[in-house]
A and B are shown apart, each in its own frame.
Chain A
């Protein structure tokens, strides 16, 4: 028996515009209910929507990064359904002429290979509000979220296991954050996922079966996405094994909800109960025509994408895959790294400073690495000091900490704190001679060879360090030691 899992993903991404998609209300999170509303997003009689041009540009920017075709002529459509959180009882969306289509996104798999997932389409639509079910006899409606611009991205059914779904979602999160089109903050519900899952089963007699396609609605974490797909894999196979007539032909598509506590999906509705949304062109908005100049302007706003950047860091700077991954997780970190390297900082040293110290502090403070108080140029200088042996790694760590609050250049700070390495071989030879003279037994131990050698060498080196206040360049001392004791 061969079982293949087929998954297509619908992803809603909240765009980080200042204002809503069709009115001037601000986008907020956690504000008092119904405080970011106006006659337009309340859908009051007589009001009309006006398109937020920035939202459209953000959507096109994302579509370009997904290698999509950009439609030169699109329109808006009304999707009709009644729900208390939808004040007009229709949602302004895009139906048959989405702003973009036919793209793809490459995702890195866990085995180190890459896979290309095709994008069917990406279009813009407005979000609904939120129903607050707080009493037994009533609910309240908060319309702050109403009219928030959402980019809906639909993949082809190219995903074949739960991990791939999660990776795609994570890659997409990094992508939209990179592009600056979304904060993609999961806690604030900026990304929502709806996987469509079924199994293609070939039994031992060669007969082929397709289980009913199940759409799991409204998942808002990577973990829930991965778990729900895994659960559906298991559930659909179980159900088919019990009853081979459990097929798409017999049952049609169904919607299921996700119960996170129980870790299972729950049946919501079958195809025959599906809404007729009665789509038709939105007469209150004019169609959008995108000319070459506008498209070029948006094209220019697309930055280097995360995977390409990660590859460049590995191939061009010789960073490890792990470090490159950490440095490209956020666009601001990657740009900070690039800037520090551009300021003549040796790449590997810069990478170490950022990954081992900079990001640690940034994470503690909940800010970007560029906001911890040290400029990229200063990091570059510090990396250079390590590279040319002016200071050693532990001194560099101390200088770094001082630099958080001290704007002066790292060399000045190192000098003031007496952290500059003593690399003058002649001066160090004098110190070493004194040490050797003072500790004949240790010298003898080294010369004797055997198991005491290593310890004795370490002792002599330590004495030199002590006499120089820790500033001696250990490499040079080691060389001198070799020469003296041969």
Chain B
């Protein structure tokens, strides 16, 4: 059952073939063996998880109706609020913060009878591409412990790749699900903005943030998305059921899309720092689609080159406001001996936030300041609109766009920490989807040097997660990259 997918496990548990309690015990055995090296979890909940698993088992044994994830061990990113344990966001400032409520997606997982095993490490407040910005701990890539797992949802991706859960949730503001999925050799899906309620997701860039699933396969990603998608009246930006009903993502998953037109933008292969191994793997993936009858359509996304600049103004502007509440007054870290009330702010924030978070708060504050607003924030919004229009025009001609998820395979720990601008370029392929609000998925499509995962990114129009999953599944069905596992001598 180690090699099971979440879907297979779920069905096995439902049939009585496996016991969730035993599965969960095995997961915790593995966590105890591997976690010291991987560092994927900020907190784990063995007792509660086993209790839940036993309850699911007895419900199944008694023939009672159970949820769509009954008994399946799941990990979640530690920026999702939970009544149990802490919600740290990987930050010293919230290291001891216990939320008094559950995020919408946590309620949904509970309602689906999932077994939540732990909360995963991340770059502090989801700001980063390598997980190295976590204020609390380091996470390494299960494929190579000297390399980063990607970020910011690095803990979720690493936990899944290292077999310490069967599925995971992350959040994606500029690539934070897809990049670690690519680096850790798993499937990661960022849904359309508004598809999943953000209620309980600790905000980074509110107009860009979206929660999404990690799975070993497209079916697992579909299974998890099904459990968390849909309207929530507590999030005004979550879309109504009438405007965009949630389809059955598993129903047609295995049915290939006929007459598939895949857009390949000129800009995709002109990007700075594109690794030859990544380019080879992605071109090979495109060939495989062509071999299945898809048509490759060359086109252009002329404003993609401005995406990173626009992103680092919009996301940081929102972040500077979103993170204002961590002030040492109401909750979270408060400095020991403040000189006066202003010092409560200054010292608490200086001590509580890490360097990258401070950098982004300053950048965002500057972009919103009087006299600079028009030149920076407002201009970035205009660029965002142009990027949206680029995608709209492209999707009039093609069903999907395909490109690398990351310009390079997982890089060495410490390689980019002193050079934030180089680090920012890791998100060059992923950021546009957040700015446009469209869904995007990363699936395994190769191994550099035979051992470092490479991800293929697919993007489709808003609220077509069913289509994106089917296109991804076509590639998965034709290849075996998704079945490769890191060699863990643990």
Complex contact A285–B341 (CB within 8 A)? no
Residues on A with C-beta less than 8 A from B365 are 278
Q: Fill in one digit per residue for A49-84: 1 if any B CB lies within 8 Å of its CB, else 0.
A: 111000000000000000000000000001010101
Residues on B with C-beta less than 8 A from A42 are 330
Residues on B with C-beta less than 8 A from A88 are 324-325
For window 273-305 of chain A, which residues contact chain B by CB distance below 8 Å? 276, 278-280, 283-286
Q: For the complex, is A209 an interface residue (Cβ under 8 Å from B)? A: no
How far in angstroms is the closest Cβ of chain A from B26? 32
Q: For the complex, is B329 an interface residue (Cβ under 8 Å from A)? A: yes
Question: Which of B94, B206, B320 touches A45 (beta carbons < 8 Å)?
Answer: B94
Look across to chain B and name the residue whose beta carbon is closest to the beta carbon of A285: B236
Whole-angstrom CA separation of A257 from B55 in the bound complex: 63
Residues on A with C-beta less than 8 A from B329 are 84, 87, 141
Complex contact A80–B324 (CB within 8 A)? yes
Complex contact B330–A46 (CB within 8 A)? no
Question: Which of B100, B200, B320, B369 touches A276 (beta carbons < 8 Å)?
Answer: B369
Complex contact A48–B198 (CB within 8 A)? yes
How far in angstroms is the closest Cβ of chain A from B419? 29
Instruction: Say whether, besides A78-B321, A141-B330, A278-B365, A283 and B233 are in contact (CB < 8 Å).
Output: no
For window 35-52 of chain A, which residues contact chain B by CB distance below 8 Å? 39, 42-51
Among A47, A82, A87, A88, the most chain B Cβ lie within 10 Å of the Cβ of A47
Complex contact B330–A82 (CB within 8 A)? no
Complex contact A50–B100 (CB within 8 A)? no
How far in angstroms is the closest Cβ of chain A from B101? 5
Question: What DSSP secondary structure best describes chain B's contact surface?
Answer: loop
Q: For the complex, is A221 an interface residue (Cβ under 8 Å from B)? A: no
Whole-angstrom CA separation of A88 from B320 in the bound complex: 11
Interface contacts (Cβ under 8 Å), in number, total 100
Instruction: Say whether, besides A276-B369, A283-B207, A89 and B236 are in contact (CB < 8 Å).
Output: no
Question: What DSSP secondary structure best describes chain A's contact surface?
Answer: loop
Complex contact B236–A46 (CB within 8 A)? no
Q: For the complex, is B234 an interface residue (Cβ under 8 Å from A)? A: yes
Residues on A with C-beta less than 8 A from B99 are 39, 44-46
Look across to chain A and name the residue whose beta carbon is closest to the beta carbon of B94: A45
Residues on A with C-beta less than 8 A from B321 are 78, 80, 90, 278, 280
Complex contact A46–B103 (CB within 8 A)? yes
Whole-angstrom CA separation of A47 from B197 in the bound complex: 11
For window 92-106 of chain B, which residues contact chain A by CB distance below 8 Å? 94, 97, 99-101, 103
Complex contact B325–A278 (CB within 8 A)? no
Question: Which of A44, A50, A51, A284 touches B206 (beta carbons < 8 Å)?
Answer: A284
Question: Which of A80, A278, A286 touches B236 (beta carbons < 8 Å)?
Answer: A286
Whole-angstrom CA separation of A141 from B317 in the bound complex: 28
Instruction: Say whether, besides A51-B236, A90-B321, A284-B236, A46 and B203 are in contact (CB < 8 Å).
Output: yes
Q: For the complex, is B427 an interface residue (Cβ under 8 Å from A)? A: no
How far in angstroms is the closest Cβ of chain A from B174? 15
Whole-angstrom CA separation of A45 from B97 in the bound complex: 10
Whole-angstrom CA separation of A51 from B324 in the bound complex: 22
For window 152-198 of chain B, which residues contact chain A by CB distance below 8 Å? 198
Question: Which of A89, A139, A286 touches B327 (beta carbons < 8 Å)?
Answer: A89
Look across to chain B and name the residue whose beta carbon is closest to the beta carbon of A82: B345
Q: For the complex, is B199 an interface residue (Cβ under 8 Å from A)? A: yes
Complex contact A45–B325 (CB within 8 A)? yes
Complex contact B97–A286 (CB within 8 A)? no
Question: Which of A49, A87, A276 touches B325 (beta carbons < 8 Å)?
Answer: A87
Q: For the complex, is B45 an interface residue (Cβ under 8 Å from A)? A: no
Look across to chain A and name the residue whose beta carbon is closest to the beta carbon of B238: A48
Complex contact A278–B345 (CB within 8 A)? no
How far in angstroms is the closest Cβ of chain A from B487? 38
Instruction: Say whether, besides A39-B100, A283-B206, A45 and B236 are in contact (CB < 8 Å).
Output: no
Q: For the complex, is B76 an interface residue (Cβ under 8 Å from A)? A: no
How far in angstroms is the closest Cβ of chain B from A45? 4
Complex contact A82–B327 (CB within 8 A)? yes
How far in angstroms is the closest Cβ of chain A from B173? 12
Complex contact B236–A280 (CB within 8 A)? no
Complex contact B377–A280 (CB within 8 A)? yes
Complex contact A43–B200 (CB within 8 A)? no
Complex contact B317–A46 (CB within 8 A)? no
Look across to chain A and name the residue whose beta carbon is closest to the beta carbon of B237: A286
How far in angstroms is the closest Cβ of chain B from A392? 64
Complex contact B368–A280 (CB within 8 A)? yes
Complex contact B368–A48 (CB within 8 A)? no
Residues on A with C-beta less than 8 A from B205 are 283
Look across to chain A and name the residue whose beta carbon is closest to the beta carbon of B365: A278
Complex contact B236–A276 (CB within 8 A)? no
Residues on B with C-beta less than 8 A from A48 are 198-199, 234-237
How far in angstroms is the closest Cβ of chain B from A48? 5
Whole-angstrom CA separation of A274 from B382 in the bound complex: 29
How far in angstroms is the closest Cβ of chain A from B92? 14
How far in angstroms is the closest Cβ of chain A from B28? 27
How far in angstroms is the closest Cβ of chain A from B354? 16
Residues on B with C-beta less than 8 A from A45 are 81, 87, 89, 94, 97, 99, 202-203, 325-326
Complex contact B325–A284 (CB within 8 A)? no
Complex contact B97–A82 (CB within 8 A)? no
Complex contact B369–A278 (CB within 8 A)? yes
How far in angstroms is the closest Cβ of chain A from B376? 11
Complex contact A82–B324 (CB within 8 A)? yes
List residues of chain B with CB under 8 Å of any chain A CB: 79-81, 87, 89, 94, 97, 99-101, 103, 198-203, 205-207, 233-237, 317-318, 320-321, 324-327, 329-331, 341, 345, 365, 368-370, 373, 377
List residues of chain A with CB under 8 Å of any chain B CB: 39, 42-51, 78, 80, 82, 84, 87-90, 139, 141, 276, 278-280, 283-286
Between A and B, 25 residue pairs with Cβ closer than 8 Å are A39-B99, A39-B100, A45-B99, A46-B79, A46-B80, A46-B99, A46-B199, A48-B236, A50-B233, A51-B236, A82-B345, A84-B329, A87-B325, A88-B324, A90-B324, A141-B330, A278-B321, A278-B365, A280-B373, A283-B205, A283-B206, A283-B318, A284-B236, A285-B236, A286-B236
Assuming A276-B369, A280-B377, what are 5 further A-B pairs, CB within 8 angstroms? A44-B101, A46-B200, A51-B236, A80-B321, A90-B321
Shortest 10 CB-CB contacts between residues of A and residues of B? A89-B324, A283-B206, A283-B207, A278-B368, A45-B202, A46-B81, A46-B200, A46-B202, A276-B370, A88-B325
